[in-house]
Amino acid sequence: GENVEQHPSTLSVQEGDSAVIKCTYSDSASNYFPWYKQELGKRPQLIIDIRSNVGEKKDQRIAVTLNKTAKHFSLHITETQPEDSAVYFCAATDSWGKFQFGAGTQVVVTP
């Protein structure tokens, strides 16, 4: 089955700097790669996603890149702000809709 590894487990950045989180997956049949943000005490919420027919997607300060050959995808947050502090999860899934999540990255943005 699918296995998703996520790094780093914690990430501390200065406000205004960029943050990058990387994930690798094992199943070449995976075709959908969402990223979720979970603030303390709240449910995970989708922040951006990418499908296997696209190499890069951007939404304001957030971007995701996908390298299908290498089976890895990354989340990039630019100009980080204190409200970006949260746990971020990557996931991979195939057309059957079974999601496999990474272990999560705790991002701390310090003023």
Partner 1 sequence: DVKVTQSSRYLVKRTGEKVFLECVQDMDHENMFWYRQDPGLGLRLIYFSYDVKMKEKGDIPEGYSVSREKKERFSLILESASTNQTSMYLCASTTGLAGGGVTDTQYFGPGTRLTVL
**Closer residue to partner 1 (CB): 27 or 94:** 94
Q: Would you count residue 70 as binding partner 1 (CB under 8 A)?
A: no
Q: Would you count residue 93 as binding partner 1 (CB under 8 A)?
A: yes
The one-letter code for the residue type at 63 is A
Which residue has 């990387």 as its token pair? 22
8 Å CB contact between 36 and 49: no
Task: Give the residue, chosen from 13, 22, 27, 31, that forms a contact with partner 1 under the rule CB under 8 A.
Answer: 31
> In the bound complex, what is the minimum distance in angstroms from residue 86's beta carbon to partner 1?
14
Determine the 3-state secondary structure of 83 from DSSP.
Answer: helix
